[in-house]
Amino acid sequence: MRGTLLFFAGLLLLVAFVSLVGQTTSVGAVGAPTENYTIPNIPTGDQSSPEIVPPVKYIRQGPTSQPQSAPPRFIPAFIGTSLQDRSRITANENWYLDVDINAPGWLYIYEYFSAGNDFQGRWIAYKWQLLENGLWRLGPFTPENNEAEGQHIYRIWFYSDGQWAAEDSDAPKQNLVYWTYVKVQPAEQVPSQPPIATVRKNTSSVRYLDFSAGRSMARLPDISGHRHAWLLSIPDLCQSEEKSRYGITDCRGRD
């Protein structure tokens, strides 16, 4: 009797191990970003595959912009913090992922990232249930310490009402979201210097300002004939009494 019990206990342990392996392989890597045949397991209530939910907030921003009576559909959008390029993340910047779904359902997100000349990947979300239709904002996401530089791709699946969301013929590859990560902030651009002005004396002994020399200040001789000189700014020379004091009648190129 004892031997029989030990046999069944061992059998149960073997079944549990096989089940665990099956769960692990069910969320393994998928094919290339643009291939069409990889589809995750259908979400069920028996926990046949584990749920993966990223450690971020998910907030419903409002109702869906799509017909609720239509088959399952979703519209994704990547939201970075840079106003110049929303799809570019630099250093420790955060980002969000907006997903507009037209029905309650399950979300699957697989992230590809550059690895030499190829892509590697991992699941960001697997069988993540959203209980209402609408525009959902997921995030903020934060770069990891070993975040891969270069191009990243989120591939998204959505399952609702017993079927997978089909690709929109009017927006092919809409299930792919592209973004780029750079570890180092770009160097700040040094502003260029304003035009330079010098004072010269023409053949008719009429002083004028020439803005072609590359300096922002003009050096004028002392009108009393002494050798010392001082610097005066362009606005002072062209917009004040200093202009007439030094006999300057022409501010060339100032316009």
- pLDDT tens-digit profile of 49-86? 678 999 999 999 999 999 999 999 999 999 998 888 88
Span of 126-130, 155-159, 211-215 with lowest mean pLDDT: 211-215
Ordered by start, the domain boundaries in the chain are: 50-182, 198-252
Q: Tens digit of pLDDT for each residue in 170-187?
A: 766 889 999 999 998 666
Instruction: Compute the average pLDDT of residues 220-231.
Output: 46
User: Of residues 245 and 206, which shows the higher confidence score?
Assistant: 245
Q: Which residue bears the tokens 């990891």? A: 144
Question: What's the mean per-residue pLDDT of the chain?
Answer: 73
User: Of residues 248 and 55, which shows the higher confidence score?
Assistant: 55
Q: 59-71: b or e for each residue (b if 16 or more CB lie within 10 Å)?
A: eeeeebebeeeee
Q: Rounded to the nearest 5°, which phi and psi values hold at 235?
A: -60, -35
CATH fold of 50-182, please? Answer: S-adenosyl-L-methionine-dependent methyltransferases (2.20.130)
pLDDT for the residue 84: 84
User: Of residues 18 and 34, which shows the higher confidence score?
Assistant: 34
CA distance 103 to 238: 69
Instruction: Compute the average pLDDT of residues 102-119.
Output: 88
Instruction: Compute the average pLDDT of residues 217-237.
Output: 48
Instruction: Compute the average pLDDT of residues 144-156.
Output: 92
pLDDT of 124 > 90? The answer is: yes
User: Is the whole model's pTM more than 0.85, yes or no?
Assistant: no
